[in-house]
Amino acid sequence: MIHDTSGIRRGMVHVLETGFEAMSGENPNGSPSIRGYNIVNGELREASDGGTFESRNPAWLVDCLGEFPQSTKQDVRDALHAAGDAFPGWAATPAPTRGQIIGNMGRLLMKHKDDIVRVETREIGKTLKESAGSVQEAIDTCLFFQSEGRRLYGQTVNSELPDKELFTYRRPLGVCGIINACNFPAAVPFWKMIPAIMCGNTCVWKSPQDAPLLSFMLTRIMHEAGLPNGVINLVHGRGSGAGQYLVDAVDEGLVNKISFTGSTPVGKMIGETCGRNLVSCSLELGGKNPLVVMPSANLDNAVEGAYWAGFGTAGQRCTSLGNLILHEEIYDEFMSKFMSKVESTRIGDSMRNDDVLYGPMLSEKYAKDFVTTLGICEMDGATKLWGEGIITEDNKPANFLGDASEGTYMWPHVYAEVTEDMRCFHEEIFGPVVTVVKASGFDHALHLANASPYGLSSACYTNDRLEAYRFKTGIKAGMTGINNSTTGAEAHLPFGGVKGSGNGTRESGIWVIESYSYWHAVNDELSGKLQLAQMDVDEIRIEKAEADYSALA
C-alpha cells in the first residue's frame, strides 16, 4: 500500500522538528511507537503482502520502537525499478549539484544529531558516546564528499598522433544494492551510499533488520536535503528475505553493483553471484584482529588499547580485538593490569546509567549466536580467566548496573593459553571475548598475527621503531595501528581488509570512488582523417627521422 503519493518531503519539516524527538523517546508499554515504511520512489509503502516485524530495544526488551514492513520480492523489485528509472536523470545531474545535496544531508544530520544518537542507542544498545561517534562519521562523510563533487576528476592525456585529444572520465555504474550490518547503522550505510550517489549512481538500501527505525529516519533526512525521488530507495526485512532478493536480482540484470558489510560466508555467496554476472561488488567482511604487545611498549597505554578494542561495543565491531598476542617477557605484568580492568568493567544501559563501557548485545539473535560460538573456546581447552556467559540477576559481575532481566547482556570474557592450532585462534567470535596468545619474540608474534584466515585490522604496541616498521610492512591486513587499538576509522582514510576480510575494495576517502565508478576513455580525432595508433605512428616517426637526417647533411 502506498501512503504518500506526493513524495515524502511534504510535511517533512514538521516531522523533522517534532517527530524525531518522539522517535528517540522510550515506549515502556510494549506497543509499537512508530509505524515505519519502505521508501520507494519517494513514497511511503507497506509490504505488498502486509507482513511486518518489530524493532525492540535490546537494553529494555519491552520497549518496542516500531513496526516495519517485512519486504517481499515484489517490494524489492519495485525499489530496483524505481532506482533504474531515476538513474539517467541523476547521472546527468552535474556532480557539484550532487555534492551540494550531500552537503545539505550533513547539515541536517548535525541539526538532528542528538535525536539520531538517542534512536541508535535505543535501537541497538550502543552507548550514547559510541552512537554519537557513529553519527558523526556519517556527518564527516557527507562533508567530505560534498567537496568531492567538485573534484570528480578525469584526465587529459597526450596522444602519440597529431591533431588528436585523449580524455578520461569517471562514469557511474548504475543501480547499487546496499546491505549493511546493524552495529554501525549510521556510519556504514553513509560510507556506501554517499560516494555512490556522488558518482551518479542510484541505490536500493536493505536496512539492517535490527536498526530499521534509524534507517527510516536517515532516509527521510536524505530526501529533505533535496535528493530526488528514486535516487535512494529503502526496503526493510530479513537478510534471508529482502537481502537475498536484492542479491538474486543481480542474476536478473537489475543490479549493477552490490556493496555488503557482514559475515564472510555471506560475502562469499554474494561474490559468487556477482562474479558470474560480471557485476562489481564491495565486500567488507569479518575479522580476527591481532594486537601485539612488545617489551618496549608503554604497558599502561597498551592495556587501555587492548581493553577498548576487545570490549568496546561489547566486542561487536568487525575491527574488535580477536587475538591478544603478548611477548613472554611482559606477559605476566600485562595480564595483571589487563585483568584488573576487565574485572571492574561497568556494563549497563547508557540511557539510564553513566560511564558504562558497553551495553547489551545488538539484539537477542546476536546474543544467542555469541553464546554458541563462545563454546569453541571451551571445546578447544583454552583457559577461561573471566566470564560467565549471559548476565542474569543470579549471575552478574559486580559492576553491572540495572536489572539484567530487562535486556540481553553478556559478561566480558578472557581466554588464555590459546595456541595456533586451536579453532578459537582462527574463528571470529562476535562479542565481548579476547583470546590471549603468548609469543617468544617479534618474529613469532608477527607470524601469529598473520596466521588467521582474516586480514582486516591489526595493531602493534612497541617503542622500537624498527619493530614498528617491520610490523606495518610485514602484516597482511588492510589496516594497522601503531601504539593504537585495532578499532577506529576516519572518513578520509580507506577502510577494508584482505584475505577472508574482503575482496580488496575500500570504503571511505577518495579511494572508495573506484568502487562506484568506471573509467571511460575518449579519443577525439581533430585531423579529419583516420589515424591508427601503433600503426600510423611508426610512419610518422620514420618521416620525422628522415627529415632530421637530411637537415644534418
Bridge partners, residue 179, by sequence:
206, 260
**Would you tell me how many other CB atoms lie within 10 Å of the CB of residue 39?**
27
Catalytic position from the list 64, 182, 281, 318: 318
Tell me the three cell numbers of residue 201: 549512481
Residue 101: partners with Cβ closer than 8 Å, 6 or more residues away: 225, 226, 227
Least Cα distance to 424 among 297, 298, 324, 309 occurs for 324
Q: Residue length, the chain? A: 553
Cell of 260: 555488503
Task: Check: CB of residue 190 under 8 Å from CB of residue 137.
Answer: yes
What is the 8-class DSSP label of residue 144? H
Long-range contacts of the stretch 435-438 (C-beta < 8 A, 24+): 435/322, 435/323, 435/324, 435/377, 435/382, 436/323, 436/324, 436/326, 436/335, 436/385, 437/323, 437/324, 437/325, 437/326, 438/325, 438/326, 438/328, 438/331
Task: Please give the Cα distance from 344 to 333 (Å, whole number).
Answer: 17
Q: What is the DSSP string of 190-251?
A: HHHHHHHHHTT-EEEEE--TT-HHHHHHHHHHHHHTTPPTTSEEEE---IIIIIHHHHHTTT
Cell 570512488 belongs to: 513
Q: Is 203 in the active site?
A: no
Write out the catalytic residue numbers.
Answer: 318
